[in-house]
Amino acid sequence: MATLQIRLDDSLQRRAKEVASGMGLDLSTAVRLFLVRMVAENGLPFQPHAHPFYRSARRADLKRSLARLRGGRTESGSPDEAEGKTE
């Protein structure tokens, strides 16, 4: 039998324990179930994806806004409004 040791934020551990407990599991059993599914599916048992907030267009907008702020230009509104792209 092997032992798995991981580091995680205290808050994440507490919240994960609460979720597992709500399903009648301890955290070790929940992690073991995750690993069993990962091996059975030969991959992650869920499909990871990026949150829409982090799409490349958003990052470009944020970089432009930051450059304007650093240049002393402050504006309110969306990046599209600042670029004159609104209808």
Triad 82, 86, 87: Cα angle to 5°: 155
pLDDT of residue 48: 80
Do residue 56 and residue 41 come from a single domain?
A: no
Residue 87 counted as domain residue: no
Nearest to 28 by CA among 9, 6, 45, 11: 6
What pTM did the predictor assign?
Answer: 0.56
Q: Specify the CATH number for the domain of residue 4.
A: 1.10.1220
**Do 1 and 26 sit in the same domain of this protein?**
yes
Per-residue pLDDT tens listing for the chain (87 residues): 999 999 999 999 999 999 999 999 999 999 999 999 999 999 999 888 777 777 777 888 888 888 888 888 776 666 566 556 655
Q: How many domains does the chain have?
A: 2
The three-state DSSP-derived secondary structure of 24-44 is CCCHHHHHHHHHHHHHHHCCC
